[in-house]
Structure 1
């Protein structure tokens, strides 16, 4: 709409009308006052008409400048919408802040955080929740700084049982043990549960020798390795020395031909599980005799699967016995830390995945309404957790919440595949992104944020100097945030996708910005002293009847 088409102002008409009325009041008696009165009234009516025209024109201009939404109506959530989504409940998990208010999520389903290394996941995501949330937690702890900073707090203030699996003995922290194969002995010794033994062995073999997503090549050999592992694990679980049902012992059997032949001979004489063990021994012995080369390939694959548990390695003692049960996560307030050096995750990450899978299964089998949080940092480096994506829908109803933390979505897709990663994201009530640098990921986030309708203005210059310029308006689509805008977000900003809410452009804050979290955290054994800047947020707690 051109400015030259605007209606004249109504003010001069009102001024002129007022002047006529004034002159009428000053006229001497007998003068034609009615004439000035009529002129004043006409001027006033003219002014009212022009005022109405201007108001109508303003409404049209406002409508022209208001996007119709035809190309999309994406926007970020406001404070009211965050509250409507339940993000103001301090009993939930801490996500960050928005417009000066702390955000919490008190749902039952899962969460996913995607952020590169060394961008503050520990100080703004994991540590705050270890300090704040009083429920049971299973947490993977690269570098051991989480246990060093929060274990005493969770034991003393939250009155929790704290277990620290720390095979490398980092920072002088406790070194508790857990035997992943002990569950097999327990199942065999319980007649009511004995039928579950073969299924558990099958799942363990799939965890140790996972089936890569979409890779059919060498599947025959992987299955051969799994079959050998299943046979030997069943043998160890059903023989008379349950204390030797361990992964280091399994490695010994596979590595030594003498030990393997001894095991097969013993299995052939077993009547356990209605003769199943003896049948497996016969199959293994036949393969060894008739196709030694193929059996060697199966055996080599099985050895590689348990090589990190060899008797002289770092993990041997940690998996030799159990000082606690994963079921305690459900039966009483418990926190379990899995501590591993950062530079060992690439080679020993399978240990994290194995124990995470067993802990999830143990909690899911227990009765009760308690929610257990699985904080899985470096989730893509622990290998594929067998049957996780297939179980995500059911797990919240069984008291299991999984919070996966990865550096890139591409890593998750590499481990779980595209479809399974899509399942993980769809089953996550909260998906959190920050410090995004990967352009492909930024494009994905931009597409997920959606588009909005924007007004564009075009100036049409006249063809001659005397012709007035004109203005036209049109609508077009624009991303709520472009990939470049996402990559250039300040480091303390984050994008949250929360179920039943528009996307949220929120703030990240370190734990020391919240009182009393900064006071509760212990010395960081890796980075040194925690900054003691003035807290900008305050939380209130009632612990053991005392307000904190």
Structure 2
């Protein structure tokens, strides 16, 4: 390396490590020297222009000469010209001095404030990612964001909740533990947004409903087959290594049975109903009969429906059993009556999120996220599909933020993985939250994971906990060239020689151990086109801007799920020494229902009971004849036995249409009832 370049860099390095007062003194001295040199150069140019330079010129007489001719316009003119020339020379010299040669090992550094502003990180609206210099860093535009934060690193308090308390447009958020709903839903609802909580496994039934099939026009055969194929592709993905026959056959059978259900207006068009059509009786025998009877009645059945059912039921017994098992194993989640009830109707329209400001929270407890992942993957697939059919000019111009916390826990969702490359043009913006890159790599592989990351315009990185992650991040931050000075001393008898040598060495902008020891309140922003940005995390509970917006979420009315049983052995009836008014009214109502029902049998009365633990957990089978739904009022407070008894009696009376005067007083103790058969 040239000696002048090395000297220049050595001076700059020494200056950067000097004390503040020393830096001020050095800068002041250099400035004074530069001004003095410019003034001397200007005077010399003026003397040359006035032809005063000669062999007999005395330098000491110049100040007196300038003072004597101080009012001469010609002297003023040449002094101005001299200042221009000296200024140009000084500017060139400064540029030459500060010009840095090409560094041997790189020039990595952190971004400046001007670079931060240039890359839309000081936008007025967008995704809040941190703070720097006492101001929030807000990422504007339409690009996606990736947040990489280990567990318990503060991603919720630092990114998720601040954005839910500031994002003004539609949002869909995966809300593990329902913390986001509790903290932010009230604010969003209070500001005019339609707010929904979809939590199918909530034990109190407090959830909005979402039927994946409600967006299909069941009267349009083409739309039915097309949409069922999309849903079947998600529910029955082709295995990467195993034989794809079973998945493909399961999809075809799912489409056939689904189209059959869609063609029958008397049946609810739900995935739960499709599951029941496949599991009740012997579908290999029953399905052809249903098709034949429908055709005899002149009922509309599409050719695709008939062909798919024919292929399904005409298979050999072993093949049919394998296909059926493939379908039922993937749809077994709909055995759970909570899931079946929550997907029986739809309370919101996913097609409207770009036309109206809507907030949808996908609530789930951590122990249930793996179980409910297929439903949420299907939800996200439809969200993307339904909102990428029309460009914003015709399909709605309201931006939608899709905030996927714990994204990897959803399992493999190909539609989301591929959506990063095209949904931004439709107004959908993704904020992906992962613990480390190893999570998506283990699910999607390195190639797809790298593609996802490449399609994110900004990466937010919290303090890593794994050495492998820190090593990878250190490599990405880059290296800079630093001059290392080494000293040596040689002694020969009474004489000693000292020598100092300098060499250029490579140094990481942040070493792996420095990254792992980075303060918990710091974060890094990585964006193409600028150096990395080192900033601070946000803690929403320390900012009045956010805490002032927190309010109670809207109340979600619970739904009571009861079981209609056709056998007394499965029911829980009352056994008491005498019949009271309530018992008589209930039994009279039930007797009337049985007597008026077609093919009524006295030995099979209709009774109601709550779900058992086995039924709630999915170990006990629940048929469609057993399921009864009804809306509830607000539940009584915990621990109030009288209120609980009155609540249950009121619900029972309402279900049986019993007048209020026939109800028992609410202060009676609860009595266990048992059915002894008839």
2:225 to 181, 187, 198: 198
Unaligned runs of 5+ in 1: 7-37, 41-58, 526-548
2:338 to 291, 301, 314: 314
The alpha-carbon distance between structure 1 residues 264 and 445, as it changes in their structure 2 partners (threshold 3 A), is farther
Q: For the residues of structure 2 that align with 1:108 and 1:374, how far apart are their CA atoms?
A: 12
Match of 2:215 in 1: 183
Q: Cα deviations across residues 313-369 of structure 1 (Å, max 9, x unaligned)?
A: 431211111111111211101100111111111222222211111112222235122
Q: For the residues of structure 1 that align with 2:288 and 2:472, how far apart are their CA atoms?
A: 53
CA contact (8 A) 2:108 2:479 kept: yes
How many Å apart are 1:510 and its aligned residue? 1.1
Local SS of the residue matching 2:130: strand
Q: Which moved more, 1:458-467 or 1:109-118?
A: 458-467
Q: Cα deviations across residues 204-257 of structure 1 (Å, max 9, x unaligned)?
A: 112112345xx322433333323322322233233333x512121122233334
Q: For the residues of structure 2 that align with 1:332 and 1:261, how far apart are their CA atoms?
A: 48
Q: For the residues of structure 1 that align with 2:103 and 2:228, how far apart are their CA atoms?
A: 56
The alpha-carbon distance between structure 1 residues 355 and 104, as it changes in their structure 2 partners (threshold 3 A), is same
Match of 2:423 in 1: 395
State the TM-score, normalized to the length of structure 1. 0.77
Match of 2:641 in 1: none
Match of 1:224 in 2: 249
1:72 is aligned to 2:106: yes
Match of 1:512 in 2: 541
2:505 to 476, 495, 514: 476
Match of 2:154 in 1: 120
The alpha-carbon distance between structure 1 residues 265 and 416, as it changes in their structure 2 partners (threshold 3 A), is farther
1:250 is aligned to 2:301: no
Local SS of the residue matching 1:387: helix
CA contact (8 A) 1:456 1:476 kept: yes
State the TM-score, normalized to the length of structure 2. 0.63
Name the count of aligned residue pairs: 461
1:418 is aligned to 2:449: no
Q: For the residues of structure 1 that align with 2:526 and 2:278, how far apart are their CA atoms?
A: 48
Give runs of aligned pairs for residues 337-356 of structure 1, distance below 5 A: 337-356=361-380
Q: Which moved more, 1:395-404 or 1:270-279?
A: 270-279
The alpha-carbon distance between structure 1 residues 382 and 220, as it changes in their structure 2 partners (threshold 3 A), is same
2:176 to 142, 153, 156: 142
The alpha-carbon distance between structure 1 residues 495 and 238, as it changes in their structure 2 partners (threshold 3 A), is farther
1:210 is aligned to 2:229: no
Q: Which moved more, 1:294-303 or 1:107-116?
A: 294-303
CA contact (8 A) 1:181 1:247 kept: yes
Local SS of the residue matching 1:314: helix
Local SS of the residue matching 2:342: helix
How many Å apart are 1:196 and its aligned residue? 4.5
Q: For the residues of structure 1 that align with 2:308 and 2:256, how far apart are their CA atoms?
A: 6
Unaligned runs of 5+ in 2: 12-57, 61-93, 555-678
CA contact (8 A) 1:145 1:524 kept: no
Local SS of the residue matching 2:259: helix
CA contact (8 A) 1:253 1:260 kept: no
Q: For the residues of structure 2 that align with 1:468 and 1:238, how far apart are their CA atoms?
A: 100
How many Å apart are 1:399 and its aligned residue? 1.3
CA contact (8 A) 1:74 1:480 kept: yes
CA contact (8 A) 1:154 1:162 kept: yes
The alpha-carbon distance between structure 1 residues 398 and 519, as it changes in their structure 2 partners (threshold 3 A), is same
Q: What do you get for the CA RMSD once the two structures are aligned?
A: 3.2
Local SS of the residue matching 2:354: helix
Q: For the residues of structure 2 that align with 1:428 and 1:273, how far apart are their CA atoms?
A: 46
